[in-house]
Amino acid sequence: MDGMSVPTSDLDPKIAERLKRDANGLVPAIAQQYDTGEVLMLGWMDDEALHRTLTTGRCTYWSRSRREYWVKGETSGHQQWVKSVALDCDADAILVKVDQVGAACHTGDRTCWDADVLDAVVGERPDARS
């Protein structure tokens, strides 16, 4: 995957033509626990990874560091079973609702957002009663 080239894939052309990919042909994919709404991780998909995710029932991502496809949990046992897949309104991000088995994060945490919560001022919306 180099620059704007998109590898050959069996992804439905109607979906492929809608996708807005980055310069490497990738789209960010958020994995969310289907029943609790818990945000688990962010991965990257190209057309083939999305095709595999849509047709196998298991999340497949493109590893930017290893430059290869990986099925979540194939070696760790921490599998993601697909419940639904949706594109956002701009077709530049993917939301995959999954049933996560074990940890989603490569560190062993349940989610990739467990360990580094930043201090932030908590906002309160104005009282709507008027």
Q: Which residues are annotated as a binding site?
A: 88-90, 92, 105, 112
Confirm if 111 and 38 have CB atoms less than 8 A apart.
yes
Strand order in the sheet with 39-45: 39-45, 27-33, 94-100, 80-87
Rounded to whole angstroms, the Cα distance separating 61 from 41 reads: 11
Q: Give the tokens for residue 49.
A: 């990874």
Amino acid identity, position 51: H
Residues belonging to the binding site for Zn(2+) are 89, 105, 112
Asked if residue 44 lies in contact with residue 29, where contact means CB atoms within 8 angstroms, the answer is yes
Which residue positions form the known binding site for Mg(2+)?
88, 90, 92
